[in-house]
Every structure is written in structure tokens, then in C-alpha cells.
């Protein structure tokens, strides 16, 4: 467990429990936690009153109180998402790597595939059409919990991502206003069963995200919610994933095709985003397919994003 979180700003929010007791929302300052149950029963309820709550959190962070030692607490996923909206194919280098890894058996050389995919991404960026799909909250697990590899899964892979957490409701907002609706940022690992991403029995349907991404524990989230006010530029953060201590992903969010504002705006054109919704922004290059090394029981993933702390998840076999 992280006892001295490297976080942007003076405080963050999380969800914690002590022993067999119930989970509670907490304010994190350095290595101590203030129980916020008196303000709300859960973190999502704080997000629903974000404009009112944020000034109170500033006051509480500087005040005396019955602070609890962080190392004595279990850290849960910082929020129970109302919905998860996931962005696919949103980092330039990652998309190229995936295209080459999934190269169809038609004899095209890898360099031709790379060039075609690069041209496709240029068109997408110009036309402002991100690729967003829905994930299930039941896939979420805590930032230090195990990822359980299902018995049927033969190619589990990691995808570390910046996650934006909605505070103010957002419906058909413009990109220049979209970040005003983001309350906080956190870390997500969008674990994927690569062998079932594409339906081989019905290739015309395309991707099968239900099975590929929504197994229980496939979305480690957290450790904390860092208020957006403490993250001045979400397009300039370092995303780093280590597998058993070896760096596998290490990229800036500058490599995104569509930034956070454009993703939130795009999703809001179809659905009203509500407090507690989590928008995953895509994963940079360096997944397991690229390295030729997929997850297996006994592995430990450590994911860090600038100013958002670190999550550590072991892997174990369902069997």
C-alpha cells in the first residue's frame, strides 16, 4: 500500500475501510485520512455536490480532526462509477502497434499497415470522431487488489489509462467547456482479453468489448481522486506501467489523438454524463502484444500517472 502518495495538490479523495468495518469516503492528506461520512455516505455523493463540497475539502484539509493513519486502512476503488465510458484507439503509437499485431493474413507488409493506420488517425483527428464504448462498473476493482485471470482467457493484457471523473452533469457540451464538468482525475488499468477482441465467427460485427474488457477485476481504479483543479494540464502527464519492475508503457498524454475535453464533449453529445461517470481516455503504446509478453499468474503491475499516485495489482489465475 502507498503510504506517502506522490499527488498533485494538497489533498485527494478516496474510499477506505478499517478491518471488517464498512467502506467510507475519506480525505487524503500525506499519509493520513479524514473520514468524510459526516458529509456523505460515499464518494459519489460528494461528486454530486462538487461545487459545494470542494471549498469544504480545502477547509478540512487544513483543520484538526480525527485523522486515521493511511497504512492502517484498506484502499478501495476511489469511486463506484455510475457508468464507464471507454475510449479506444486514442494514442497514435498504440494504434499503430495494435494494427500490426492484428495484421490480417493478406500479405501486406508491416510498414504498409503502419502507414495506412497513420493516415486513418489523421482523418479521425480532423473529423473529430473519437471511438467511445461502454464498460461495466462490475469490472472495477481496487488499486491494490488482484486481477483475476478467467479460466477461458489466454491473452490477458494491460492498458494503463488516465481517467476523468465527472462532477457537473454534461449534456451536449462544447470542447471548450467540457473540462468544467470534470471533477477529478484518477488512474485506470483497462485489462483486455486480446483473444476475444475480434469475433472470428462473425468478423463483420467487429469488436466484442463485452467479453474482452468486462470480466470481474479487469478495471483496477485509483488509488485516489485528485481534484481537476490540481491537474492544470491533463494533456501533459506521464503514463508509466511496470511489469514486475520492468517499464512496459511510458508515454505522455500529449500522444492522445483526442484530448480529455474532446472525449468528454463527444460522449456528451449522445448521453448526459452524470456525477460519478468515469471517462477512460485510452492507453499509450507498450501493451503486452507489442512486447510479446502477456499477463500470467504471479505478475505484478505497477501503474503511475504524474500527480495521481500509484496502483499495484498482482495477477492470479481463476483456477
CATH number at residue 251: 3.90.850.10
Boundaries of domain holding 34: 12-76
Residue 86 in any domain: the answer is no
User: Whole-angstrom distance between the N-terminal and C-terminal Cα of the chain?
Assistant: 26
Same domain, 170 and 48: no
78-128 per-position pLDDT tens digit: 999 999 999 988 998 777 776 776 655 567 787 888 888 888 777 777 777
Same domain, 171 and 310: yes
Report the alpha-carbon distance of residue 25 to residue 46 in Å, rounded.
Answer: 9
Mean pLDDT on 33-40? 96
Residue 87 in any domain: the answer is no
Q: Which domain-ending residue is among 76, 93, 122?
A: 76
Same domain, 148 and 296: yes
Same domain, 53 and 137: no
- Please say whether the beta carbons of 133 and 150 come within 8 A: no
Strands 300-305 and 310-317: antiparallel
Same domain, 71 and 138: no
Residue 273 in any domain: the answer is yes
Residue 164 in any domain: the answer is yes
Q: Which residues pair with 207 in a beta bridge?
A: 198
**Residue partners of 205: CB distance under 8 A and separation at least 6:** 199
Residue 287 in any domain: the answer is yes
**Residue partners of 6: CB distance under 8 A and separation at least 6:** 307, 309, 310
Same domain, 176 and 28: no
Same domain, 50 and 190: no
181-214 per-position pLDDT tens digit: 999 999 999 999 999 998 888 888 888 999 999 9
Same domain, 37 and 178: no
Same domain, 165 and 296: yes
Cell output for 126: 480532423
Residue 123 in any domain: the answer is no
Report the alpha-carbon distance of residue 127 to residue 224 in Å, rounded.
Answer: 34
224-276 per-position pLDDT tens digit: 999 999 999 999 999 999 999 999 999 999 999 999 999 999 999 999 999 99
pLDDT value for 106: 64
- DSSP H or E run through 31: none
Same domain, 282 and 143: yes
Q: Which residue has the higher pLDDT, 102 or 131?
A: 131
Report the alpha-carbon distance of residue 258 to residue 235 in Å, rounded.
Answer: 10
Cell output for 196: 476475444
Residue 186 in any domain: the answer is yes
Asked if the model's pLDDT at residue 3 lies above 90, the reply is no
- Please say whether the beta carbons of 268 and 170 come within 8 A: yes
Same domain, 186 and 292: yes
Count of domains observed in the chain: 2
Same domain, 139 and 230: yes
Residue 243 in any domain: the answer is yes
pLDDT value for 4: 42
Say what the pTM is.
0.92
Amino acid at each position: 500500500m502507498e503510504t506517502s502518495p506522490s499527488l498533485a495538490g494538497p489533498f485527494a479523495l478516496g474510499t477506505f475501510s478499517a478491518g471488517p468495518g464498512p467502506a467510507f469516503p475519506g480525505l487524503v492528506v500525506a499519509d493520513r485520512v479524514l473520514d468524510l461520512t459526516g458529509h456523505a455516505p460515499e464518494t459519489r455523493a460528494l461528486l454530486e455536490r462538487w461545487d459545494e463540497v470542494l471549498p469544504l475539502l480545502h477547509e478540512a484539509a487544513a483543520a484538526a480532526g480525527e485523522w486515521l493513519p493511511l497504512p492502517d486502512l484498506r484502499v478501495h476503488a476511489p469511486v463506484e462509477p455510475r457508468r464507464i465510458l471507454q475510449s479506444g484507439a486514442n494514442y497514435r503509437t498504440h494504434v499503430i502497434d495494435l494494427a500490426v499485431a492484428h495484421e490480417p493474413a493478406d500479405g501486406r507488409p508491416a510498414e504498409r499497415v503502419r502507414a495506412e493506420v497513420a493516415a486513418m488517425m489523421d482523418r479521425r483527428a480532423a473529423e473529430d470522431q473519437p471511438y467511445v464504448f461502454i464498460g461495466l462498473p462490475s469490472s472495477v476493482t481496487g488499486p491494490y487488489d488482484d486481477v483475476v485471470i478467467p479460466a477461458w482467457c489466454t491473452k490477458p493484457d494491460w492498458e494503463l489509462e488516465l481517467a476523468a471523473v465527472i462532477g457537473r452533469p454534461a449534456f451536449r457540451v462544447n470542447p471548450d467547456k467540457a473540462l468544467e464538468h470534470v471533477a477529478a482525475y484518477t488512474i485506470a488499468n483497462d485489462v483486455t482479453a486480446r483473444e476475444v477482441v475480434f469475433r472470428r465467427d462473425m468478423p463483420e460485427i467487429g469488436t466484442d468489448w463485452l467479453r474482452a474488457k468486462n470480466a470481474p477485476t479487469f478495471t483496477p481504479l485509483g488509488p485516489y481522486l485528485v481534484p481537476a483543479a490540481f491537474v492544470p494540464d491533463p494533456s501533459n502527464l506521464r503514463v508509466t506501467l511496470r511489469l514486475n519492475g520492468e517499464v512496459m508503457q511510458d508515454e505522455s498524454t500529449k500522444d492522445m489523438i483526442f484530448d480529455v475535453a474532446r472525449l468528454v464533449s463527444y460522449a456528451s453529445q449522445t448521453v448526459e454524463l452524470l456525477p460519478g461517470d468515469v471517462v477512460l481516455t485510452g492507453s499509450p503504446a507498450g501493451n503486452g502484444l507489442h512486447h510479446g509478453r502477456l499477463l500470467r499468474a504471479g505478475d505484478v503491475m505497477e501503474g503511475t500517472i504524474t500527480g495521481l499516485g500509484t496502483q499495484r495489482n498482482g495477477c492470479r489465475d481463476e483456477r
